[in-house]
Amino acid sequence: MTALVLFGTLILMLLIGVPISVSLGAATMVSLLTVDVPLAVIPQRMFTALDSVSIMAIPFFVLAGNLMTEGGISRRLVDFCNSIIGNVRGGMAYAMVLACAFFAALSGSAPATVLAIGGMLYPDMIRIGYPPARCAGLLAVSGGLGPIIPPSIIMVVYCTITNSSVGDMFKGGIVAGIMISIVLVILCIIYANKEKWPKNTVKLSAGQLFRSFFSALPALLLPVIILGGIYSGLMTPTESAAVAVIYSFIVGVFVYKEIRTENLYRILLESGKSSAMMLFIIATSTAFSWLFTFSGISGQMVDVIVSMHLAPWLFCLIVALILLVFGTFLEGIAICVLLVPVLWPIAQSLGVHAIHFGMIMCTAIVIGNMTPPVAVNLFAAASVSKLKMGEIAKGELPFFLGFVGVFFLFVFIPGLSTLLIG
């Protein structure tokens, strides 16, 4: 009865357009009427969900990403990537994929990656003759590298729930990000020759390459500082996130001189709003998941699935399909906090590696960002390109299928997720 009221209320509120965080909290409060649990338990659970050192990394990563976004790195990254590619057919498309990969290592956000890189590259690509829908579709899919290439907020949330290593999870994200980038570049090569995309306007030269490299170097050092601090053992993920904020501030204000004093308040305010939204979703999702577990349904699900003696790969495939469906209409962090407490005990009982399961979870959530009706990547690409969602969805199809192909490689080959883990 409790589970029925819990999910029934949640679905009803989502259908009438209530924000996911409020829907989760309201569904939890309504469902308390069906169980003998004091109301005080819910705020306690919400507070406990946020009382974690790992969770503290989220506002720091958000602020560091916003500082770097406002600090003028987009144009420098685009110039550097164009200099690497040179004057080849479809060169600006390759540069878009590379720039999104580099920017992903700074922001950790898919929509931010789409808006920042798209705002720089898309107008120039259309001006020299790239097909608009294909270009916007590539942008939407390449932006999906944001939450996969570390630092990734979704990965931090997952590791907090499962008590896994954030550093190991980031290593899995590096492998996935590189593989997806390679697949996207290969597809760009195919379609550049098939559809006769224009050549890059930037010619390859050592002088231009060195100038653009040194201009982009301060930005490129940020992921080195974050990941280097974690893997060297000098800093925890939270400490590295705090150091990243200081470094981003110095680069944006004193090195690139793009951030003015009057802009700092706006950056802090936007970062605070984004962080508060994420933390509130985590808090209400945790209370929702706790009540679901308390109702006994979660334990019964574990017992039933374990008794079926499923092969680990088959369970991972089923989970992948479930996540792809949930990703089309729920926010990523909410999916993570809602489903991981339910699915991870089952995966653990079947011997699935925590990092493998986490990569399935995080990559499926990103794919949901490209799939209507939520499709935040498509909305971001539409705001840049001024095209209709349907046009972008058609244009992104080959790149989307390539992304999904890499995802299923990770589902069926666990060793890819743990390739860099000693």
Q: What is the pLDDT of residues 390-407, one digit of tens each?
A: 889 899 999 999 999 999
Query: Distance between CA atoms of 67 and 49, rounded to whole angstroms?
Result: 27
Q: What is the pLDDT of residues 292-317, one digit of tens each?
A: 777 776 677 777 777 777 888 898 89
Q: What is the pLDDT of residues 146-170, one digit of tens each?
A: 889 988 888 988 998 888 888 999 9
236 three-state secondary structure: coil
- Tell me what pLDDT residue 48 has: 84
Query: Distance between CA atoms of 373 and 331, rounded to whole angstroms?
Result: 11
Closest to 366 measured CA to CA, from 412, 407, 396, 315: 407
In sequence order, the 6+-apart residues with CB closer than 8 A to the CB of 199 are: 87, 88, 89, 90, 91
Query: Distance between CA atoms of 26 and 18, rounded to whole angstroms?
Result: 10
> For residue 175, what are its two tokens?
């492998």
Average pLDDT of the chain to the nearest whole number: 86
- Residue 340, H or E segment: helix 332-349
Instruction: Look up the pTM and report it.
Output: 0.86
Q: What is the pLDDT of residues 329-371, one digit of tens each?
A: 777 788 888 888 888 888 988 899 999 999 999 999 889 878 8
Residue 241 clears pLDDT 70, i.e. is over it: yes
Partners of 199 in beta bridges: 89
Cα–Cα distances (Å) from 192 to 137, 166, 177, in that order, read 14, 38, 22
End-to-end CA distance of the chain: 46
